Amino acid sequence: MTSVQKNQFNLNRSRKNLRRDAGRAIADFNMIEDGDLVMVCLSGGKDSYTLLDILLSLQKRAPISFKLHAVNLDQKQPGFAEDILPEYLDGEGVDYHIIEQDTYSIVTEKIEEGKTYCGLCSRLRRGILYRYANSIGADKIALGHHREDIIETLFLNMFFAGKLKAMPPKLLSDDKKNVVIRPLAYCKEKEITRYAQLRDFPIIPCNLCGSQDNMQRQTIKSMLSEWDKKFPGRIESIFRSIANVSPSQLADSNLFSFTELRKELNAPADLDWMELL
C-alpha cells in the first residue's frame, strides 16, 4: 500500500467513525428533521470544519432531506485571515454567509487586563448568530462542540460555578426562538483532530482567546488529558454519567421532592436475615 493509499484508507476510516457517532447523536436527540434548514456555524477551527464536512457527508446518505447553510462571524480580530473560509467554502460548493461585526473592540475594551475574554465574547457571538438564524428562518443552529468540550464544561461548572451542568446535545434558547444542536456530541476530540489533519483543513487560529494564558478551560483540559493517560476508560465513563443521572441521589430539591419523602406504613417489611440464623 502506497502512502497515498494509506492516507486515503485512514481518511475513510476516520470519516466513517465520525459519521457513525454523529449519526447516532442526531438520531438519539432528533436533531435534524425532514425539511430542516440547518445553519452550521464555522469558526475556522478543526471542530467546525469537521462538523460541516460530516454533515455534508450525512446529507448525501440520510433518509430525509435537509439543507445546510454555513455561517462565519468575522469579529474583526487583527490579523484574521478573512479570505480563507470564503475560498474553502466556494471550493466545496457550500451555501454560506460571512457576518462582519466588530466584537473584538467591544471585548478588549470591556474586559480588564488579565481577565479572560471568552464569557463576553461568546455572549456577543451567540446573540449575533441567533438573530441571523431568525432572519433566514433556520430550523436548527449546529455547533461543533464534541465529547471533550461537554465534559470540560461539566467540570468547569462544578469547580468554578458550583453547578452540576454541561452542554446538552440539543438546546432550546431562552427566548424559545432557536434550537441549538451539537451533532459531534458523541465524537472524540482525538478522532476530530486526526480527521482534520487528514483532510488538511485550512485552520484559522483564534488569536483573541488563544493568546491568553491560564484560562480555566485549559486547566480542566490538562487535568482530563492526564486522567486519560493514567486511567484509560475514565473519560468514557464520565461522559456516560452525563446521560445516566439519578436526581434522587443528588441534593437538588428542585429536581427531586425530598420534602415529600415519607415511609409507607403498609410497605412490605425487609427480610430479617437474623431470623434465618
The amino acid sitting at 269 is A
Question: For residue 213, what pLDDT is reported?
Answer: 43
Please give the residue that has the higher pLDDT: either 121 or 274. 121
pLDDT in tens, 190-243: 999 999 999 999 998 765 554 444 478 889 999 999 999 999 999 999 999 999
φ/ψ bin of 233: left (φ > 0), alpha (ψ from -120 to 50), beta (otherwise): left
Confidence of residue 250 (pLDDT cuts 50, 70, 90): very high
Question: For residue 216, what pLDDT is reported?
Answer: 83
Question: For residue 215, what pLDDT is reported?
Answer: 74
Question: For residue 171, what pLDDT is reported?
Answer: 97
**pTM of the entire structure?**
0.89
* 265: pLDDT strictly greater than 60: yes
C-beta separation of 47 from 206 below 8 A: no
Nearest of 165, 205, 194 to residue 79 by alpha carbon: 205
Contacts of 74 (CB under 8 A, 6+ apart): 80, 82, 98, 99, 100, 101
CA dist 7 → 19, 47, 156, 229 (Å)? 18, 20, 37, 26
Question: For residue 276, what pLDDT is reported?
Answer: 64
Average confidence (pLDDT) over 60-76: 93
> What CATH number belongs to 3-243?
3.40.50.620
